[in-house]
Amino acid sequence: MSRNGSDKILNNRVENIGEVWTDFGTLISKFTKISRINSKKAGLTLQQAWALQVISVRKGISPKEISSYSGTSLPSITDLLDGLSKLNYIYRLRSSEDRRRVEISILEKGTERLLKFQKLQQSTTEKLEKALNKEDISAFSRIMGTMVKVLGSMEKTDGE
């Protein structure tokens, strides 16, 4: 992005589509940085916060499902889960239907950390919402939905 890239973004000037993608990368980078700061304030790494979020929503999720969902290798997910288990944020339970399957659930201590992180993230979201009007939010939502569909389709066809 050029030195005056922030000005370009703030003034909604689009000179070429390449710059739009560069700006999108900058947006992702800045949001990730703020999320890392928020996770640190909550006493978590960003990966731990993400994993706790997934585990809290998907009760009894397996490490393999977490790996598939995130696109992260199973050994990396296992290491992440080992750390969360040592902190008493999660527990593992063998499935009664299939002894090979391990189900992951969040413990109260993990829920408390996750809620602290979510509160910080909500504050960030509220600040963004105040800076945008309803039309901007609607357009952004529509664009993101389209991008998710296209990328999901590409993932299916290009990944084979």
Residues 46-73 have pLDDT tens digits of 999 999 999 999 988 999 999 988 889 9
d(CA 54, CA 147): 22
* Distances, alpha carbon 64 to alpha carbons 67, 74, 143, in Å: 5, 6, 31
Domains of the chain by start residue, with CATH: 1-41 (no CATH), 45-158 (1.10.10.10)
Q: Which residues contact 33 (CB under 8 A, 6 or more apart)?
A: none
pLDDT at 99: 82
Query: In this model, does residue 16 exceed pLDDT 90?
Result: no
Q: Give 69-120 pLDDT, tens digit per residue.
A: 888 999 999 999 999 999 999 999 987 888 888 999 999 999 999 999 999 9
pTM of the model: 0.77
- pLDDT for 45 equals 96
